[in-house]
Chain A
Amino acid sequence: MGDILVITEHLKGEFQDITFEMLGKAKELAGASGGQCVAVTFGSMNGKAGELGVADSVISVGGSDDFNPESYAAAVQSVVSAKSPSLVMVGSTSMGMDIANSVATALELPTVSYCMNMSASGSGFSCTSSLYGGKMNVVTDVAGSAVAMILAGAFNADAGKSPGSPSVEDFSADSGAGKVRFKQLIEPEAADVDITQSEILVAVGRGIGSKDDIELAEELAEVLDADLACSRPLVDAGWMSKAHQVGKSGMKVKPKVYIALGISGAPEHIEGMKSSSTIIAINSDKNAPIFDVAHYGMAEDLFDVVEELVEELED
């Protein structure tokens, strides 16, 4: 049985949570199969190998500290070619997608997207993916080398956080054709609110219907002394600013209470809020995936509920 390679992800000099989530799981799987858990770091992140104590060893490919889809993918491809792992775990993230697909296609390895669960199975692995906006779970069995993209928040980050001193191997990797060049990191515009610090969030999704009706959610937010948040489609439509976006390409929030109004519960959104202590979902579709992750729910028309709620609370 080969090793399990974990492609670490970092931003502005810090390892992202997805790295630890994958390490924890990889360690568990490697343990069961008798292989090693190997982390791959980029640029000068090998300097922080001490944080990757869960891994048995670290491969440092060097190169740029700034993520570059082309050079990072080329580097990982060199490593995978050389090491023939039984599994390559990459984050199902903006950075991970470029790497995973490129490497897997070039090396003709099976790929599995949106993994929310994995287990060893026979000589390979069994991956459960969340598809169709969270409405279906699909199980794929892969044998031999495979590349799996892991959903952020699918596994526990704590299981992967252990200081230690894994051996670090410097690996001379391919750096790609140079057709993609990193220019700069663009910080988000200063926002009037930092929802990652909010205690209570009232989040609106497509179910709100129109920009006008967001007013209703604002009333509720005001009455609860909460901040407003939303899912990506509302930002795309220009109804709310990016500062309020919760999800994979938005903010990761962990408020005490997260009230989801008219949000269906697609994995990309869940990623951003599943760590909330209490999730209350209101959606007229009783089959909406959000109810699987929410603690409390009401399968009612959100306008009726919120109107009544605001009225009661204002008394």
Chain B
Amino acid sequence: MKIVVPLKQVPDLVEDLEVDASGKALDTDDIKFKLNEFDDHALEEAILLKESGAADEVVAMAIDSDGADKMLFTAIAKGADKAVKLTGGNPSDSHQLGKAFANALETEGYDMVFTGVQSVDDRDGQLGPIVASYLGAPCVSVVSGVSVSGGTAVVHKEYSGGMMGEFEVDMPAVLGIQAAKKAPRYAPVSKIRQVQETASIEEVSMGDLGGGSGSNVASMAPPAKGSGAKMLDDVEDLIEVLKDKGVI
């Protein structure tokens, strides 16, 4: 079984985020980007399935960008068999991103597509179901447990309150991964460097990106501080508040 994992970079939320001059987008000048943590879970789940023998090939896929090579080599260092980079375009939103991946997936072929359930910047929809729709493949998202038998996957979809729905999905299919069975593994830099020397990334054209989401950002701004919390100076004040609310 072949699992393809589309990977995406997002701004590192540890940064102080600011709006750029246009007032509609993030100022990305000075901030660091990192792999979308849910994509990391998707990759981890795929590799775990390979390690258990349920899958025999894991392919990491990413759009060409500044950190794409490192992200793909890291995926290989973690256990992916192959990395594919999509070039020749600049997807501007989830729909164009989804179309790019869908084009590549059609050429690459797949039994399963695992992608992170959401990302911090997917304003116009979540990648998993979007890709599935372009591919005409079934999709279940918010998945936190995958097992495979024959041509079917059994997945656990998370609902609120700790409840889960168990589904059977015929392959080929797309899953939006919420959490892998284990926390995503660390890829030692020495290993990544070794991979950089021995492995190569396949480049593929991303093809026609389509019209995109059909909606545009009117403005972006940090949430109004306005009311916000009453900031306390020290623990004495905190104790007063707790007393006031009847906690102590």
Contact = CB atoms under 8 A, between A and B. Distances in A.
Q: Do chains A and B touch in the complex (CB under 8 A)?
A: yes
A8 interface: no
Contact of A110 (B134, B213, B246): B213
A30 B219 CA distance: 24
A105 B130 contact: yes
A137 B26 CA distance: 11
Contacts of A129: 123
Interface in B137-182: 138-142, 154, 156-170, 173, 176, 178-179
B interface, over-half SS:
mixed
B235 A179 contact: no
B215 A137 contact: no
B183 A113 contact: no
Interface stretch (A37-45, A51-59, A238-246): A238-246
Contacts of A141: 215-216, 218
Given A94-B142, A102-B129, A296-B230, A138 B123 contact: yes
Q: Interface centre among B139, B142, B165, B168, by most A CB within 10 Å?
A: B165
A112 interface: yes
A312 B242 CA distance: 12
Given A101-B133, A297-B232, A136 B165 contact: no
A256 interface: yes
B19 interface: yes
B138 A70 contact: yes
Interface stretch (A81-89, A154-162, A167-175, A184-192): A184-192
B159 A11 contact: yes
Contact of A139 (B162, B165, B217): B217
Given A94-B160, A142-B215, A251-B162, A296 B167 contact: no
A251 B228 contact: no
A93 B141 CA distance: 10
B111 interface: no
Interface stretch (B9-17, B49-57, B195-203): B9-17
Interface in A114-148: 114, 126, 129-142, 146
A135 B231 CA distance: 19
A183 B17 contact: no
Contact of B229 (A114, A142, A185, A296): A296
Interface string A287-315: 10111111111110000010011001100
A110 B246 CA distance: 48
Contacts of A295: 229-230
Interface in A242-294: 242-243, 245, 248-252, 256-257, 264, 277-281, 286-287, 289-294
Given A102-B129, A132-B11, A296-B231, 6 more contacts: A94-B159, A97-B176, A102-B139, A180-B139, A182-B167, A293-B229
24 contacts: A69-B140, A70-B138, A94-B142, A97-B118, A106-B133, A113-B126, A130-B223, A133-B13, A136-B17, A136-B19, A137-B220, A137-B223, A179-B138, A179-B173, A182-B165, A188-B162, A226-B247, A238-B183, A245-B162, A250-B162, A256-B247, A257-B245, A290-B229, A291-B231
Interface of A: 11, 16, 66-70, 93-95, 97-98, 100-102, 104-106, 108-114, 126, 129-142, 146, 149, 177, 179-188, 191, 196, 200, 224, 226, 236-238, 242-243, 245, 248-252, 256-257, 264, 277-281, 286-287, 289-299, 305, 308-309, 312-313
Interface of B: 11, 13, 16-17, 19, 26, 41, 94-95, 98, 117-118, 120-126, 128-130, 132-134, 138-142, 154, 156-170, 173, 176, 178-179, 183, 211, 213-223, 225, 228-232, 235-236, 238-239, 241-242, 245-248
